[in-house]
């Protein structure tokens, strides 16, 4: 049945976007960092497609939901992955049942910052991580040491929402540990994510961030140091 749901979602997306029957006319998107086929559709259109799908299937079972996510996140197009991210965001009760090892499998298939962030950014909140902390911590520690740069980025982005929502010391320690392991990298995929996570930590851990910057100013990426200091000073992004 998941294949049928997948086809329904893609058809809904194309209809809302006014696309023809072809799946994805562009052979990739350099800005998004992916070589997967990509149909230039607005994010709002993707969300609308998922909302329409949810309205038609309000009682979608968890096994069918999970199978559909597998189809999307392991799909051949960038649009599949972006649709999967909206499915995560708009179906929170189902999302909370997902085991971290599933995210690990999905992240094996991502390419580029947009695909990685679509799975990791703001999808999983603090309560979801802390409820199964040992499993999530194991995933975060696996990702941060991975040879795939997109998975290393995910080890930072996955924490951006949780550290804004909870002052739990476990989240703080893991965030700073992951930053510490990646602070020597100078690829923009990592330097931007380091800056992002440090700035999000300020909300509930200002003193810890100030102390960390004081101790690591010489080794942090320049952009992360500059942007985090600016956020501490002005309160703005």
The answer to whether 106 touches 119, Cβ cutoff 8 Å, is: yes
pLDDT tens digits, one per residue of 81-135: 889 999 999 889 999 999 999 999 999 999 989 899 999 998 899 999 999 999 9
Look at the domain 112-237 and name its fold: 1.25.10
Q: Which pLDDT band holds residue 154 (cuts at 50, 70, 90)?
A: very high
Report CA-CA distances (Å) from 70 to 2, 5, 30, 154, 224.
9, 12, 25, 18, 34
The answer to whether 46 touches 86, Cβ cutoff 8 Å, is: yes
| Res. 20: pLDDT tops 60 | no
pLDDT tens digits, one per residue of 22-44: 545 567 777 888 888 877 778 88
Residue 167 vs residue 41, higher pLDDT: 167
Domain ranges across the chain: 1-98, 112-237
Q: What is the dihedral of CA 28, 88, 167, 191, to 10 degrees?
A: 0
Q: Evaluate if pTM is beyond 0.85.
A: yes
């Amino acid at each position: 049945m998941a294949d049928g749901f997948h086809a329904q979602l893609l058809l809904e997306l194309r209809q809302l976007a006014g696309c023809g029957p072809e799946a994805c006319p562009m052979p990739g998107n350099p800005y998004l960092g992916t070589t997967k086929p990509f149909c230039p559709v607005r994010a709002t259109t993707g969300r609308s497609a998922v909302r329409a799908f949810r309205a038609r299937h309000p009682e979608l079972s968890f096994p069918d939901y999970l199978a559909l996510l597998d189809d999307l996140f392991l799909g051949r197009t960038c649009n599949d992955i972006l649709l999967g991210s909206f499915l995560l965001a708009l179906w929170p009760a189902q999302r909370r049942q997902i085991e971290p090892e599933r995210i690990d499998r999905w992240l094996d298939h991502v390419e580029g910052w947009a695909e990685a962030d679509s799975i990791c950014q703001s999808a999983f909140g603090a309560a979801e991580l802390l409820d199964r902390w040992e499993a999530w911590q194991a995933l975060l520690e696996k990702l941060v040491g991975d040879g795939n740069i997109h998975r290393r980025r995910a080890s930072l982005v996955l924490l951006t929402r949780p550290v804004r929502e909870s002052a739990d010391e476990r989240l703080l320690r893991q965030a700073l540990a992951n930053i510490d392991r990646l602070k020597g990298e100078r690829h923009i995929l990592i330097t931007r994510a380091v800056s992002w996570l440090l700035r999000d930590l300020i909300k509930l851990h200002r003193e810890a961030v100030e102390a960390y910057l004081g101790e690591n100013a010489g080794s942090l990426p320049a952009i992360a140091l500059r942007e985090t200091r600016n956020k501490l000073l002005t309160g703005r992004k």
